[in-house]
C-alpha cells in the first residue's frame, strides 16, 4: 500500500507545484451577477425553468436536466433573473445562459448545516438526491454523477470505487484543498457512494505522500457496504488523473477488472452536500494560478462568478498574460472574455506569460522521438501528425488516433513545437462530424 | 494560433511547453563543441577559426538565400549553423579555404534543401558535405599540419596516424603504437608526465598500466582534422549531450561497442588477430566526432530503440570495414551516409510506438 505507483507507459514529469499544498483557502465574494450557462459540460443543455424578472431563492432550480448527459442547474445566489441570452460555451457552441442579479437574503445556504440522517435512505433515494442536486464530475468532463452511478438493469458486476485525489497539473491545488478542508465531507461522501455501489474495494489515490488524508482516509470504518477505503500514493506524473490511466496505475494491470469507477474528491464532497446537507452543487474550489497573477491562491467561489472577479481577488495581473486558461494549460480551454463565469467543472484559472508558456517558432519534425516516449497510450504522435497534415485522417485512425486521450504530453515535449494534440482533437472532431453527416444521409 | 483583440491567445491545449526547443538543442550541441574548438586553436593557431567560421558562414548564408527563395523562415533554428561547424571541424587545419566553403554550400543547398529542408532530408548534410570534399579535393585534404608539442615531424609531410597505418599495412606487422614510434612520432613531454601520474596514482590501485602515447592521442597531439583532435574534449561534450538527453545514447553506445569488438578481434590493419588496439582505434580519426555529434542527428536516424541500436551498430561495423579494408584511411562519413539510406526501412520494420491496433486500447471509460 505504501509503494509509490504510476501508470506504465509514457507521461511526463512536470515542474513542481506552483502552489504550496498548505495554501489557505479564501472565500470569494458573492457575485453581484451570477451567469449560469445551461450547459456546462458535454451533453444536452438543461431546460430553463425561470423567466426574466422572476425572483428566485438561492439553490432554486434554474435549469432542469433533460436526458442523459444533462444535469440540473441551481442558482448559487438569491436574486432576480435579469437576463437570458446566448453565450459561447467552452465546447465551441452557443448556449443559453441565465443571469441572476444578487438581491434578498440567504435563507438556506448561510444557515448552519443540518445533517440529514442519510443512512436511512435507500440506494434509489440517494441516487435521486444526487441527480436532483445536479452533482456532476467536478473535473473537465463534467459528466453527471447520476448517469455514472445509474445501473438500471443491475448488470454492473463487482466494481472498484476509486477516489481521485490527484492534482491534474502543477497549476492546480484544488484537490489537495478539498481533501484538507473538507476531509470529513469527503469521508462521508465515500460512505454514501459505498452504500450505492457496494464496491469490492475502495481506493483513494493521492499524489502527495504528506497529505493529511493519508492516515485519516483509511480510518473509514468497515461497514455493511464494503471494506474500508485504502489509500494509494501515486507518483506525481502527468496525466495520471485520466481515469483510464489511474485505473491502470492502481491495478498494475493493463485490463483493470473489475470495473473501476473513478470519482474526484471534489465530486465526493458534493455528493455529501447533496445527500446529507440537501445542498445543490453551487459552489466549488477554484485555484487561481500562473505567473501573470499577482497573488495566486485558492478560492471557494460560487458557480456563476466571473473569472475576472476571481482574478481581481487574487490581486489582478502582475504582468500581461499571454493566455488565460480554464482548467490548466494541458487540457484546459483558453478564454478571452474575463466575464466568462465559473462553471461546475472549473477547477482552475491560470494566467500565463510567454515566459511560462515557452512557445516558440514551429520547425519541422526532428524525428527526435520524444513525443512517442511521452504518449501514455503508446501512439506515434509524429506519424499521426504527418498523416493528418497530408489529409490522410483515415490512415491516422488506423494508426490509433481514436485512442488518443488528448492529454497533450506529446505537444508539451515537442522541441519543434508542432501542434500535435491540437491537430489530433481537431481531426477527431472533424471525423465525428463527418461520420454523423454520413449517417444522417443513410437514414 | 489566433489572438483576439486583447492580445490573448485562444488556440487549443497544451499551452505550455518544455524549455527545450529545436534552437536550444542545436545551441547545446554547439556549446559542447566549443572546448574542442578552443583546443584546436591552441594546437594549430587561430587559422582554424577561419576555416570553421567560413564554413559556418557559408552554410548559414546558403540557408538564408534558400529561405528567401522558398519563402520559409528556418534560419533561426540554428541547424544550418551546426552543419557548417561540423564540416569545418572535419577539415585539416591546412585546408584551402574554398574547400570548407563549397562543401557547406553543397551540404545545405543540395543535400538539405533539395529534399525540402530540415526534417525532410534523409541524408545527414554535414556528412554529405564531408564526403563531397573528400571526392573533390582529395589532394588538399591529405596534407597535414603538425600540432603544438609534436616535435620531430616535418610539418608539411606529416601524416595522420591512420594514414600511416594505411601505408604500412601489408608491409609491416606490429601494433599501431609501435608503428607510430618507428615512424618518428615522438611522445611529448606532456604525455610522459600525465601517463606517469596516471600510472602512479589512480591506475596502480586498479592494477592497470597505461603505456605511453595514449595521452597524446586523446589530446590530439598528432596531425589530424582540426575538430577531431581533442578526443578527450569531445568525450566531455558528448557526456553533457547524453546527460541532457540532447542525443540518444543508443547510437554512440552501439556504435562504439560494435566497433570496439571488431577492432579487438581483427585489428585495424597491421596487428595480429585478437590483439587489436581498441583505445588507439577509438581516439584516432574522426570516430568520436562522428559517432557522438554526427551520427546522432535525429532527422537522419531511426526512431525506435531497436532501430537506433541497429543503426549505431551498422555505423560501427562499417567504420571498421572501411578502416580495415577500404582504400582510404577513413570512412566514417561514408558509413553514416550508407546507414542513412537504411533508416526509412528500419523505421518501417521496427516501429517506435507500442500501439498495435484497437485491441490494445485501454479499457475504462471517460471520466
Ligand atoms: S495527446 Fe494523444 S498522442 Fe499525444 S501523448 Fe496524449 S494520448 Fe498520446
Ligand atoms: S517530439 Fe516533435 S520533433 Fe520530436 S519526433 Fe515528435 S513531432 Fe517530431
pLDDT 10s digits, A306-317? 999 999 999 999
- Phi and psi, residue B71, nearest 5°: 65, 35
Considering the domain architecture, whether residues A234 and A102 belong to the same structural domain is answered as no
pLDDT for residue A124: 87
Considering the domain architecture, whether residues A339 and A387 belong to the same structural domain is answered as no
Contact indicator for B318, A340 with CB cutoff of 8 Å: no
Quick check: A442 pLDDT over 50? no
Among the ranges given (A39-48, A194-203, B157-166), the one the predictor scored with the smallest mean pLDDT: B157-166
Among the ranges given (B65-79, B140-154, B203-217, B266-280), the one the predictor scored with the smallest mean pLDDT: B140-154
Which helix (DSSP H) or strand (DSSP E) does residue B97 occupy?
none
Residue at A306 is within a domain: yes
ipTM of the complex: 0.84
Contact indicator for A359, A318 with CB cutoff of 8 Å: no
Record the cell numbers describing residue B188, joined without a space.
611529448
Residue at A443 is within a domain: no
Domain boundary among A335, A358, A381: A358
Domain boundary among A276, A311, A329: A276
User: For B120, which of A364, A412, A422 is closest by C-beta distance?
Assistant: A364
Mean pLDDT (whole number) for A397-408 = 89
Question: Model confidence at A84, in pLDDT bands (50, 70, 90)?
Answer: very high
Ligand 2 atom closest to A410 (CA): 1
Among the ranges given (A389-403, B240-254, B294-308), the one the predictor scored with the smallest mean pLDDT: A389-403
Contact indicator for A135, A271 with CB cutoff of 8 Å: yes
pTM of the prediction? 0.86
Quick check: A414 pLDDT over 90? yes
Q: Does the CA dihedral A360-A361-A362-A365 come out positive or negative?
A: negative
CB atoms closer than 10 angstroms to residue A313: 18
Q: What is the pLDDT of residues A352-376, one digit of tens each?
A: 998 888 888 888 899 999 999 999 9
Instruction: Pick the residue whose CA is nearest to atom 4 on ligand 2.
Output: A368
Number of domains in chain A: 4
A328 backbone φψ class: left, alpha, beta (φ>0; ψ -120 to 50)? left
Considering the domain architecture, whether residues A300 and A324 belong to the same structural domain is answered as yes
> Residues enclosing ligand 2, CB less than 6 A?
A 365-371, 381-382, 385, 413-416, 418, 420
How many Cβ pairs within 8 Å bridge chains A and B?
Answer: 184
Considering the domain architecture, whether residues A209 and A157 belong to the same structural domain is answered as yes
Quick check: A71 pLDDT over 50? yes
Q: Which residues contact B244 (CB under 8 A, 6 or more apart)?
A: B28
pLDDT for residue B358: 44
CATH code at position A215: 3.40.50.11540
Question: Model confidence at B359, in pLDDT bands (50, 70, 90)?
Answer: very low
The verdict on whether omega for the bond into residue B359 sits within 30 degrees of 0, i.e. cis, is no
Considering the domain architecture, whether residues A66 and A213 belong to the same structural domain is answered as no
Contact indicator for A179, A280 with CB cutoff of 8 Å: no
Instruction: Round to whole Å and give the CA distance between A284 and A303.
Output: 7
Which helix (DSSP H) or strand (DSSP E) does residue A64 occupy?
strand A61-64
- Does the beta-carbon distance from A242 to B367 stay under 8 Å? yes
Considering the domain architecture, whether residues A376 and A322 belong to the same structural domain is answered as no
Considering the domain architecture, whether residues A192 and A246 belong to the same structural domain is answered as yes
Round the average pLDDT of chain B to a whole number and report it. Answer: 82
Mean pLDDT (whole number) for B20-43 = 92
Q: Which residues contact B292 (CB under 8 A, 6 or more apart)?
A: B234, B235, B237, B238, B241, B247, B252
Question: Model confidence at A1, in pLDDT bands (50, 70, 90)?
Answer: very low
Q: Which of A82, A81, A79 is nearest to A105 (CA)?
A: A79
pLDDT for residue B277: 80
| Spacing, Cα B65 to ligand 2 middle (Å) | 26
Residue B111 gets which letter from DSSP? I
Residue at A5 is within a domain: no
Question: Model confidence at A336, in pLDDT bands (50, 70, 90)?
Answer: confident
Q: Does the CA dihedral A271-A276-A278-A282 come out positive or negative?
A: negative
Residue A193 gets which letter from DSSP? H
CB atoms closer than 10 angstroms to residue A46: 26
CATH code at position A60: 2.40.50
Q: What percent of chain A has pLDDT over 90?
A: 31
Q: Report the DSSP beta bridge partners of residue A194.
A: none
The verdict on whether omega for the bond into residue A422 sits within 30 degrees of 0, i.e. cis, is no
Residue at A126 is within a domain: yes
Q: What is the pLDDT of residues B213-257, one digit of tens each?
A: 788 878 877 777 887 777 889 999 999 999 988 899 999 999 999
Residue at A62 is within a domain: yes
CB atoms closer than 10 angstroms to residue B357: 10
Q: Report the DSSP beta bridge partners of residue A238.
A: A12
Quick check: B366 pLDDT over 50? no
Mean pLDDT (whole number) for A318-329 = 90
Q: Ligand 1 test: best mutation among A401, A404, A411, most atoms within 8 Å of CB?
A: A404
Residue at A164 is within a domain: yes
Considering the domain architecture, whether residues A178 and A266 belong to the same structural domain is answered as yes
Considering the domain architecture, whether residues A382 and A239 belong to the same structural domain is answered as no
pLDDT for residue A312: 92
Among the ranges given (A17-21, A72-76, A283-287), the one the predictor scored with the smallest mean pLDDT: A17-21
Note the residue count of chain B: 367
Instruction: Round to whole Å and give the CA distance between A197 and A142.
Output: 20
Domain boundary among A108, A143, A166: A108
Considering the domain architecture, whether residues A312 and A334 belong to the same structural domain is answered as yes
pLDDT for residue A274: 92
- Does the beta-carbon distance from B9 to A334 stay under 8 Å? yes
Considering the domain architecture, whether residues A137 and A205 belong to the same structural domain is answered as yes
Note the residue count of chain A: 443
Record the cell numbers describing residue B38, joined without a space.
578552443
Considering the domain architecture, whether residues A337 and A381 belong to the same structural domain is answered as no
- Does the beta-carbon distance from A329 to B16 stay under 8 Å? yes
Quick check: A279 pLDDT over 80? yes
User: For B119, which of A247, A365, A411 is closest by C-beta distance?
Assistant: A365
User: For B21, which of A244, A330, A417 is closest by C-beta distance?
Assistant: A417
CA distance B309 to chain A (A): 14
Residue at A258 is within a domain: yes
- Does the beta-carbon distance from A400 to B4 stay under 8 Å? no
Which helix (DSSP H) or strand (DSSP E) does residue A174 occupy?
helix A174-181
Q: Which of B340, B359, B327 is nearest to B298 (CA)?
A: B340
Residue at A74 is within a domain: yes
A143 is in which domain, residue-wise? 118-276
Amino acid at each position: 500500500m505504501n509503494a509509490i505507483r504510476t501508470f506504465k507507459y509514457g507521461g511526463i514529469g512536470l515542474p513542481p507545484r506552483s502552489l504550496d499544498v498548505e495554501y489557505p483557502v479564501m472565500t470569494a465574494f458573492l457575485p453581484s451577477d451570477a451567469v449560469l450557462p445551461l450547459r456546462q459540460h458535454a451533453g444536452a443543455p438543461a431546460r430553463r425553468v425561470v423567466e426574466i424578472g422572476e425572483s428566485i431563492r438561492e439553490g432554486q432550480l434554474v435549469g432542469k436536466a433533460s436526458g442523459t448527459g444533462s444535469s440540473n442547474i441551481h442558482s448559487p445566489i438569491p436574486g432576480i433573473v435579469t437576463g437570458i441570452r446566448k453565450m459561447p460555451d467552452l465546447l465551441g457552441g452557443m448556449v443559453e445562459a441565465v443571469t441572476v442579479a444578487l438581491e434578498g437574503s440567504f435563507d438556506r445556504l448561510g444557515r448552519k448545516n443540518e445533517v440529514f440522517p442519510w443512512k436511512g435512505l435507500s440506494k434509489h433515494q440517494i441516487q435521486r438526491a444526487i441527480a436532483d442536486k445536479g452533482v456532476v464530475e467536478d473535473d473537465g468532463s463534467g459528466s453527471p454523477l447520476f448517469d455514472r452511478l445509474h445501473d438500471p438493469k443491475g448488470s454492473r458486476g463487482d466494481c472498484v470505487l476509486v477516489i481521485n485525489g490527484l492534482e491534474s497539473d502543477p497549476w492546480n491545488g484544488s484537490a489537495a484543498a478539498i481533501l484538507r478542508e473538507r476531509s470529513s465531507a469527503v469521508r462521508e461522501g465515500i460512505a454514501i457512494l459505498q452504500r450505492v455501489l457496494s464496491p469490492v474495494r475502495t481506493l483513494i489515490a493521492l499524489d502527495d505522500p504528506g497529505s493529511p488524508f493519508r492516515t485519516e482516509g483509511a480510518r473509514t470504518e468497515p461497514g455493511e457496504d464494503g471494506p474500508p477505503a485504502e489509500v494509494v500514493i501515486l507518483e506525481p506524473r502527468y496525466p495520471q488523473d485520466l481515469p483510464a490511466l489511474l485505473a491502470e496505475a492502481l491495478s498494475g494491470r493493463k485490463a483493470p477488472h473489475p470495473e473501476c469507477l473513478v470519482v474526484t474528491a471534489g465530486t465526493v464532497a458534493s455528493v455529501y452536500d447533496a445527500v446529507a446537507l440537501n445542498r445543490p452543487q453551487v459552489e466549488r474550489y477554484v485555484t487561481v494560478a500562473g505567473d501573470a497573477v499577482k497573488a495566486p491562491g485558492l478560492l471557494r467561489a460560487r458557480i456563476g462568478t466571473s473569472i475576472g472577479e476571481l482574478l481581481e481577488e487574487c490581486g489582478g495581473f502582475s504582468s500581461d498574460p499571454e493566455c488565460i486558461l480554464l482548467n490548466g494549460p494541458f487540457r484546459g480551454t483558453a478564454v478571452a472574455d474575463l466575464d466568462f463565469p465559473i462553471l461546475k467543472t472549473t477547477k482552475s484559472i491560470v494566467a500565463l506569460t510567454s515566459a511560462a508558456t515557452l512557445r516558440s517558432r514551429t520547425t519541422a519534425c526532428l524525428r527526435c522521438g520524444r513525443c512517442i516516449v511521452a504518449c501514455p497510450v503508446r501512439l506515434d504522435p509524429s506519424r499521426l501528425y504527418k498523416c493528418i497534415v497530408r489529409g490522410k485522417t483515415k490512415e491516422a485512425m488506423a494508426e490509433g488516433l481514436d485512442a488518443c486521450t488528448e492529454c497533450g504530453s506529446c505537444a508539451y515535449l515537442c522541441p519543434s513545437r508542432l501542434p500535435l494534440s491540437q491537430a489530433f482533437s481537431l481531426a477527431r472532431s472533424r471525423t465525428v462530424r463527418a461520420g454523423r453527416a454520413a449517417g444522417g444521409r443513410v437514414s | 494560433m489566433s489572438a483576439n483583440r486583447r492580445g490573448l491567445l485562444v488556440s487549443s491545449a497544451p499551452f505550455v511547453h518544455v524549455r527545450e526547443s529545436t534552437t536550444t538543442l542545436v545551441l547545446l550541441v554547439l556549446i559542447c563543441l566549443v572546448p574542442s574548438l578552443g583546443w584546436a586553436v591552441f594546437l594549430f593557431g587561430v587559422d582554424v577559426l577561419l576555416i570553421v567560421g567560413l564554413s559556418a558562414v557559408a552554410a548559414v548564408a546558403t540557408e538564408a538565400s534558400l529561405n528567401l527563395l522558398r519563402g520559409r523562415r528556418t534560419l533561426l533554428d540554428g541547424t544550418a549553423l551546426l552543419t557548417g561547424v561540423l564540416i569545418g571541424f572535419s577539415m585539416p587545419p591546412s585546408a584551402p579555404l574554398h574547400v570548407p566553403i563549397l562543401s557547406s554550400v553543397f551540404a545545405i543547398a543540395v543535400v538539405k534543401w533539395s529534399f525540402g529542408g530540415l526534417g525532410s532530408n534523409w541524408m545527414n548534410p554535414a556528412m554529405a558535405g564531408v564526403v563531397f570534399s573528400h571526392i573533390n579535393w582529395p589532394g588538399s585534404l591529405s596534407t597535414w599540419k603538425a600540432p603544438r608539442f609534436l616535435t620531430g615531424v616535418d610539418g608539411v609531410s606529416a601524416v595522420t596516424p591512420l594514414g600511416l597505418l594505411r601505408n604500412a599495412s601489408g608491409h609491416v606487422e606490429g601494433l599501431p603504437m609501435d608503428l607510430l614510434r618507428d615512424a618518428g612520432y615522438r611522445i611529448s613531454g606532456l604525455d610522459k608526465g600525465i601517463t606517469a601520474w596516471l600510472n602512479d596514482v589512480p591506475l596502480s590501485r586498479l592494477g592497470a598500466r597505461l603505456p605511453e602515447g595514449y595521452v597524446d592521442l586523446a589530446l590530439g597531439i598528432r596531425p589530424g582534422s582540426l575538430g577531431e583532435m581533442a578526443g578527450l574534449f569531445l568525450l566531455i561534450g558528448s557526456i553533457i549531450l547524453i546527460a541532457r538527453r540532447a542525443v540518444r545514447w543508443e547510437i554512440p553506445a552501439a556504435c562504439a561497442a560494435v566497433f570496439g569488438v571488431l577492432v579487438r578481434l581483427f585489428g585495424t590493419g597491421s596487428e595480429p588477430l585478437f590483439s587489436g588496439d581498441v583505445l588507439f582505434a577509438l581516439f584516432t580519426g574522426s570516430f568520436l566526432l562522428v559517432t557522438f555529434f554526427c551520427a546522432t542527428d535525429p532527422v537522419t536516424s531511426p526512431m525506435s530503440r531497436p532501430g537506433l541500436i541497429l543503426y549505431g551498430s551498422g555505423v560501427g561495423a562499417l567504420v571498421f570495414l572501411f578502416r580495415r579494408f577500404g582504400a582510404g584511411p577513413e570512412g566514417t562519413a561514408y558509413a553514416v551516409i550508407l546507414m542513412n539510406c537504411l533508416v526509412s526501412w528500419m523505421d518501417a520494420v521496427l516501429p517506435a510506438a507500442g500501439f498495435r491496433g484497437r485491441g490494445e486500447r485501454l479499457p475504462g471509460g471517460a471520466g
